[in-house]
Amino acid sequence: VEDCAIASSVAHDAHHIIVVGTNKEDMALAVNRLGEVGGGVVLYSKGKELALVEMPIAGLMSDERAEIVAAKAEQLTEAMRKVGCSLNNAYMQHSLLALVVIPELRISDVGLVDVTTFQKVDLFI
């Protein structure tokens, strides 16, 4: 994966903003962009916004027509592929990173947690 960050306000079950990235700059840009648009999902790479799906209703729903949202979601999927993400349904996997009832590593309000051992995990190696 090349330098990039994905941030989302859809993070089951808490729905706090979560961000995963390779560098702080793109991570900060992505989170700040979600604040500007009221929530959704955004992908940044090398300081540039590659894809955005706005979800201004509680950060979970869009006020646009379904066809428009679907097109933006497809653009997000394609942009994720272009930065080197080969995961199947990567956006859904990202949104489930905060769901602390499923194993193994999850992002919670206390940080990165190994939910099988109930231990916090260092973010930096």
Please state the rounded mean pLDDT for residues 66-72: 97
* CB-based burial label for 101 (10 Å; 0-12, 13-18, 19+): exposed
User: Which residues fall within 8 angstroms of residue 100, CB to CB, at 6 or more apart?
Assistant: 106, 108, 113, 115
Residue 125 — pLDDT band, cuts 50, 70, 90?
Answer: low
Distance, CA of 61 to CA of 15 (rounded, Å):
12
What are the boundaries of each domain within the chain? 5-99
Q: What is the average pLDDT value for the chain, to the nearest integer?
A: 91
What angle is formed at CA 109 by the lines to CA 22 and CA 74, rounded to 5 degrees?
50
Report the pLDDT value the prediction gives residue 98, as an integer from 0 to 100. Answer: 83
- 15 to 12, 23, 65, 81: CA distances (angstroms): 6, 23, 22, 25
Please state the rounded mean pLDDT for residues 57-69: 96
99 and 106 in contact (C-beta within 8 Å)? yes
* Interval 38-47: pLDDT, tens: 999 999 999 9
The larger pLDDT score, comparing residue 48 to residue 118, is at 48
pTM for this entry: 0.86
